[in-house]
Amino acid sequence: MTKTLNINFRNPVLLLLALGWLAACNPVIERVTISRHVESAQMDFAIAEIETMLAEKGVEVDRSEEGEADIQFLLQADREDIKKEGFEITRSGNKIQIVAIEEAGAMYGGLELAEQIRLTGLDGIEEMSRNPYMEMRGTKFNIPLDVRTPSYSDPSDAAQKNIPEVWNYDFWTEYIDNLARYRYNFISLWSLHPFPSLVKVPGYEDVALDDVQRSTVEWKEYNSLNGIGFEAPEILENPEILKEISIDQKIAFWQRVMQYAKGRNIDFYVVTWNIFVNGTDGKYGITDDINNAVTRDYFRKSVKQMFVTYPDLAGIGLTTGENMHGASTTEKEDWAYDAYALGVLDAASEMPDRKITFIHRQHQTGAQEIAEKFKLLFDSDNIEFIFSFKYAKAHVYSSTKQDYHEDFVEDIGNIKTIWTLRNDDIYYFRWGAPDFVRDFMQNIPHDVSRGYYYGSDQWIWGREFLMKESPTPRQLEIVKHWYHWMLWGRLGYDPQMSNDRFTAILQNRFPGTDGEKLFIAWQEASMIYPTTTGFHWGPLDFQWYIEACKSRPGYAQNETGFHDVNRFINLPPHPQSGFQSIPDYVQMTVNASRSDLISPLMVAERLHGHSNRALEIIQELNSTENNELKVTLHDIKTMALLGKYYGHKIKGSAHLALYRETGEQEHQDASILELTKALEFWEKYTEAALAQNINPLWTNRVGYVDWKKIGEWVAYDIELARVPL
């Protein structure tokens, strides 16, 4: 490494002494050389990141293809201590080596080095070795390809606004680059029936669709939760053409996207719900009838053609049951085998050197029954069969401990699974609680895990559309929400990544503020989500959305969908939250008994504690010179105000339940007081949220989210508390 000294002394003797001492102890590096001895898009990506970080430090970079270099990438396939995607960083003097057994590990080592350079400079590089904790770390992306080939999430603002984006190559390159930085290694695209938009199937060529269309219909607020009816004539009639593109151009587009992703160690999987035949328009006699032999043949050939068409497609997956009404579990699995497994076997037989992954979401049918049915896939040398299971229902932001998987884990034996980690909680506000994610990740049963995919059913993590003031083009959602997406990727790769590192990342990103205080305030406000949802547990996406205090009307037990005090009283907590339900608290109080669970009043105080600490700290943080910090601090404030609302609401609900049980006036008075304060904080929350965000919002699962309208329902809680016995 070439170095330069920058010193200035008036006394020449002191100058000479200082020059000698500094030259030995504290030289400034002005040029480095980097070498890698194999052609690798993955390593080149990491090297480009290193070059960017060095340029920020004023260091020039030369690339060397041979000989000694200051930073060397080395592949040593015989290293037994380094696993796939693992790496080791060593230094000897001014020489740094990144050692891995394959290119992906070298890339991650390079990204680690780049981050260290950004945070501490070359002089602060620390030796380290890492192997991935979870092998598969992916995203769940419900992809709105076209009104004719929709996903579950299409009836929503998020999907409708992002149909053009999923056909935008620049969107995918930015998305993929950021996923690689966050250490994700696969993308799962979820669709009801994607094949007409992706492939030309031999024997069914007329099913393939040209162009990209979006419906101009005035959608109903609430649509099927199972994806049924999205092909209704009124939806498909009078579409707008968003992009004129032939099926051959579509295929070339996705081939290019998948190839680019390979250069970032990111695989693509396509996962479907079944049986849906959207886009086929009844051609060739294709229907959604489980007994239709033509449909089975069409699906089998479609599955095979996906692998023929896309050489970089890593695998395919399915779920059964969403549109198989009246069929037994055996009939469903028979269909899945004929339609999907045989297609995979056809592809594997035709391409024996290609590794194919088959993902089967466990649903109703026992795992061992499925394993027996799909035995040929297990026995195939180039097919990997893995299960998928929803680990925390629709809300990872509920509790770091979950128990829904326990019977499933016992059932699968030695078969591996990937876990669906669903976020149907956070859409608007920038979230970030490393301690929660770390604990959550380490509580997942590791011995049966191949990994996880993280994402939503009610949201499309495409390009954001809610900020009132936004750059052009608008940010990607995973850029706006960079911190929370980084947490679920980085802590899946290395759950030992320290809070000191996260604090340093925040300090570097926002140099004008106090990184440690920002870390604390952000985590405190973010804990509003799991604390509230852990106490008020609506397991599925249509049963609870915290940012609106809302669900589908049926689950709310009223006509609005708003979760009023009555619903807060009767809906129990998450079974692993450690929280006590309000009815149990009332009985404990009346009977003067005890419980080891955390009472509703203590939950309320916990929420107030998180909120108050966040609000106090952000008052000390300066955001005048950094717009991203400004909007982030505002989101922290907004989440904290939401926490104050729920704190008062839970306490008010508990007192109302006590009043109804005991008739004691003091509890009614306390309830009215708390619910009046809750209204005050809902209004403050609404004001803060609307200062930065567009609202109302039309969602797929809970309908319209209108914070001002919801405020009317919040006020009605007070009237419910006033009702005499």
The predicted pLDDT at position 362 comes to 79
Count of domains for the chain: 3
Dihedral over Cα of 138, 479, 98, 126: its sign: negative
Q: Is residue 515 part of a domain?
A: no
The predicted pLDDT at position 625 comes to 81
Confidence bin at 1 (pLDDT 50/70/90): low
Pick from 565, 541, 713, 580: nearest CA to 646:
565
Average of pLDDT values for 307-332?
95
Confidence bin at 9 (pLDDT 50/70/90): very low
346-352 long-range CB contacts below 8 Å, 24 or more apart?
Answer: 346/300, 346/303, 346/304, 347/303, 347/304, 347/306, 347/307, 347/308, 348/380, 348/382, 348/383, 350/304, 350/308, 351/307, 351/382, 352/381, 352/382
Same domain, 149 and 88: no
pLDDT at residue 392 tops 50: yes
338: CB partners within 8 A, 6+ apart: 296, 299, 300
Percent of the chain with pLDDT over 90: 92
Cα–Cα separations (whole angstroms), residue 139 to 60, 205, 227, 400, 436: 36, 31, 21, 19, 19
Last residue in a domain, options 88, 104, 130: 130
Q: Cα–Cα distance between 124 and 235 in angstroms, integer?
A: 59
Same domain, 122 and 189: no
Q: Is the distance from CB of 345 to CB of 318 less than 8 angstroms?
A: no
The predicted pLDDT at position 583 comes to 99
| 3-class state of residue 232 by DSSP | coil
Q: Is the distance from CB of 301 to CB of 204 less than 8 angstroms?
A: yes
Q: Cα–Cα distance between 689 and 640 in angstroms, integer?
A: 11
Pick from 455, 378, 367, 361: nearest CA to 412:
367
Q: Of 64-78, 156-170, 476-490, 510-524, where does mean pLDDT reach its minimum?
A: 64-78
Q: Cα–Cα distance between 331 and 336 in angstroms, integer?
A: 9
Q: Is residue 11 part of a domain?
A: no
CATH classification of the domain holding 82 = 3.30.379.10
The predicted pLDDT at position 686 comes to 99
Residue with tokens 């000479």: 16
Same domain, 72 and 146: no
Average of pLDDT values for 545-555?
99
| 3-class state of residue 469 by DSSP | coil
CATH classification of the domain holding 255 = 3.20.20
Q: Is the peptide bond before 275 cis (omega within 30 degrees of 0)?
A: yes
In the chain, DSSP finds a helix count (H) and a strand count (E) of: 27, 19
pLDDT at residue 694 tops 50: yes
Same domain, 476 and 557: no
pLDDT at residue 327 tops 80: yes
For residue 522, give the amino acid letter: W
Average of pLDDT values for 96-122?
98
Q: Is residue 658 part of a domain?
A: yes
Same domain, 447 and 560: no
Confidence bin at 15 (pLDDT 50/70/90): very low
Question: How many CB atoms are closer than 10 A to CB 200?
Answer: 18
Tokens standing for 707?
Answer: 């914070």
Q: Is the distance from CB of 614 to CB of 639 less than 8 angstroms?
A: yes
Q: Is the distance from CB of 290 to CB of 242 less than 8 angstroms?
A: no
For 3, list phi and psi in degrees, rounded to 5: -130, 155
For residue 525, give the amino acid letter: A
Q: Is residue 363 part of a domain?
A: yes
Q: Is the distance from CB of 347 to CB of 308 less than 8 angstroms?
A: yes
The predicted pLDDT at position 21 comes to 45
Confidence bin at 65 (pLDDT 50/70/90): confident
Q: Cα–Cα distance between 437 and 63 in angstroms, integer?
A: 38
Q: Is residue 234 part of a domain?
A: yes
Same domain, 157 and 293: yes
pLDDT per position as a tens digit, 263-279: 999 999 999 999 999 99
Q: Cα–Cα distance between 290 and 296 in angstroms, integer?
A: 8
| 3-class state of residue 691 by DSSP | helix
pLDDT at residue 533 tops 80: yes
Last residue in a domain, options 130, 161, 176: 130
Q: Cα–Cα distance between 304 and 605 in angstroms, integer?
A: 56
Q: Of 79-88, 214-223, 405-414, where does mean pLDDT reach its minimum?
A: 405-414
Last residue in a domain, options 83, 105, 130: 130
Same domain, 369 and 415: yes
Same domain, 125 and 166: no
Average of pLDDT values for 213-232?
97
What residues make up the domain containing 604?
Answer: 520-722
Same domain, 93 and 183: no
pLDDT at residue 192 tops 80: yes
Question: How many CB atoms are closer than 10 A to CB 22?
Answer: 14
Q: Is residue 1 part of a domain?
A: no
Q: Cα–Cα distance between 34 and 59 in angstroms, integer?
A: 12
Same domain, 46 and 84: yes
Q: Is residue 13 part of a domain?
A: no
Same domain, 478 and 548: no
Taking only Cα atoms into account, the Rg of the chain, rounded to an integer number of angstroms, comes to 28
Q: Is residue 503 part of a domain?
A: no
Same domain, 98 and 210: no
- DSSP class of residue 398? T
Q: Cα–Cα distance between 467 and 487 in angstroms, integer?
A: 22
